[in-house]
Chains A and B, each alone.
Chain A
């Protein structure tokens, strides 16, 4: 019990601090900024989960969108079958739905991962891309979830009040997303620093050597894959209930590419890098909109793709490479000293 409380300390502090920040955003900014913030958090989960597979385990997966779609549609479908409770029970309701979405996505991950993970490099990329597309096309043809026209009117967090204090839909969505962001972050952070994580890293560094050291590489790869698809499904569920509308066209290859870009931009093997990259990738296209007003052409995607090429040529390791933000800004280390003491292999693993 004591160790549990001890280990829960940092996540709880993080939750409280960020939640207060959320309250500030709730009252100071308009719903557009709030929407962007929720999208940032969804992208953070996507980036972190993909980083587990691409960055830490070194397996190139291009099918993340398919898992996100599985989670999104599962959660949305269940919400049409199980009615939404009012008021304070909303949070556990959506949490449970996201959990269900994540579980279905992880089963999909298992089914995709088992046959594919013996392939390497480019082949794995193309096969995962293929599976992602197959999931999307299947959803496109499933009329029960709306098919090509999409699923409308999905329930989402609503405004309610707790003893006279208004709790907006943003606060509901934000709290839910925040919980999952932290769960995802700390789960991955800790798994990496565990024996499983060591196995992932060894698979990345040299798979043959890892096998000969007795590590079951297939098991390690599949575990990483399943965990990663679980969180992708969760991200999808959060997305479904905040956007209130789902269409298979939101889960194309481009979405998987976006996730890969976030991982590479942040640094493959850096969780804090993924967080920062998620912020960047979500905000920059929105920030660049005035260019269209000014020049009359929409150059956002042109700039985006060009920056991608330049990034790869000029700074292929991304923002943080294999390091975490604590190493770039030493003054941050003071805050994390306690957890650094328990995580001994930070420097060794990189």
Chain B
């Protein structure tokens, strides 16, 4: 019993152990690497590491290698906060990347802001995230932009009048997109026939789809993640629903057409780029990703790759300043990001530190996303 006690006292001391290598530039990444959203955190991590490994292979920043420390928050907001605190206080990172979910970004952002460490989120779309303070940046669209893009596309390109909305009520992203789509679509004169919800991790959507079917929409807007959209599409077709399916960049993944099979073909979604893109940066990225990970990248990996790219460029510029690589300098350089040529487009930050980039609308044709049109902000 006493030996047990002694062991218990010693073990926790490992928490205080860290080894620091002063020849490395430390960047922190907090993500859900386990738990129900693990697949999103892992995709993001893959994209980040691809960019960082590339840079290190080319010599790093002024000879120093960049080391990415990824810590798991298990999909829990309070863990996101404690992980970010640990990354800053214990590991001594100079910048933070993360998170996918706006709720976790919002839990962590105040901490990064208070400790004056720049934080760049690759995929959080809730406008509130960057409002936390001037150290918080975002490398992707915000909800208002994407929702509006699809609403305009539906009305003007597809000439649709009646659309039903099927949102993931557990996801901030989905709810945001749905709300903005609805307001823009109505503004443009369309009608929303039904507004139903599901929850992430659900597998059976027949009940809601049967209800949607009874309202006879021409199209269904499903601004969720590919993990559910594939099944939704299948079940919709099984029920005999012929409506056109539409969505947002959460659809972007090779798994979408794997899970959804033919049901998902012909669907439209707003995205950062299309697989047919001839942009050399996009082509290069897809090729390198496939070489390293043996699979096509999904939307999260691609924005993560660009986010890392933006951050690394900012750090490189900061290294040239007299004060060198400090969090404050990195923040200032980040704010100056203009026309960064990433795999997902040309990115600049506006005054609110949100990314300004164009969107594309693509159509699903098997594993290929065919470019239909592009929309500039």
Contact = CB atoms under 8 A, between A and B. Distances in A.
Direct A–B contact in the complex, CB atoms closer than 8 angstroms: yes
Given A244-B110, A245-B77, A301 B34 contact: yes
A257 interface: no
B171 interface: yes
Nearest to A239: B78
Contact of A287 (B14, B82, B170): B14
Interface string A226-261: 000000000000010001111101100000000000
Given A243-B107, A287-B11, A293-B69, A328 B74 contact: no
Contacts of A147: 169
B158 interface: no
For the residues of B in contact with A, the DSSP-based class is helix
A148 B77 contact: no
**Interface range for B:** 35 or more
Interface centre among B5, B69, B88, B171 (most CB of A within 10 A): B5
B71 A292 contact: yes
A152 B103 CA distance: 9
B330 to A, nearest CB: 21
A284 interface: yes
Interface centre among A32, A35, A152, A319 (most CB of B within 10 A): A32
**Interface range for A:** 35 or more
Interface string B162-178: 00000001111001000
B78 A32 contact: no
B85 A35 contact: yes
B57 interface: no
B82 A39 contact: yes
B352 to A, nearest CB: 17
A148 B4 CA distance: 42
A286 B172 CA distance: 28
Contacts of B33: 292, 298
Given A249-B75, A286-B15, A298-B33, A32 B85 contact: yes
Contacts of A39: 82
A286 B169 CA distance: 31
A243 B78 contact: yes
Interface in B166-196: 169-172, 175
Contact of A32 (B74, B90, B110, B175): B90
B102 A298 contact: no
B5 A243 contact: no
B126 interface: yes
A247 B75 CA distance: 11
Contacts of A247: 77, 103, 107
A30 B89 contact: yes
A149 interface: yes
Contact of A290 (B14, B81, B102, B107): B14
Contacts of A309: none
B8 interface: yes
B2 A149 contact: no
A33 interface: yes
A120 interface: no
Interface string B60-88: 00000000011110111110011001101
Contacts of A30: 89-90
Contact of A243 (B13, B81, B115, B172): B81
B5 A328 contact: yes
Contact of A36 (B15, B77, B128): B15
B320 to A, nearest CB: 30
B12 interface: yes
A283 interface: yes
Contacts of B75: 249
Contact of A329 (B2, B69, B90): B2
A150 B76 contact: no
A273 to B, nearest CB: 11
A148 B197 CA distance: 12
Contact of B172 (A149, A283, A329): A149
Given A249-B75, A279-B12, A150 B103 contact: yes
Given A39-B82, A243-B81, 12 more contacts: A32-B90, A147-B169, A148-B169, A149-B103, A152-B106, A249-B75, A249-B76, A249-B77, A287-B15, A319-B5, A328-B5, A329-B2
Interface of B: 1-2, 4-5, 8, 11-18, 33-34, 69-72, 74-78, 81-82, 85-86, 88-90, 102-103, 106-107, 110, 115, 126, 128, 169-172, 175
17 contacts: A32-B82, A35-B82, A149-B126, A149-B175, A150-B106, A153-B110, A239-B78, A245-B106, A249-B77, A276-B8, A280-B12, A283-B12, A283-B15, A286-B82, A287-B13, A290-B18, A292-B72
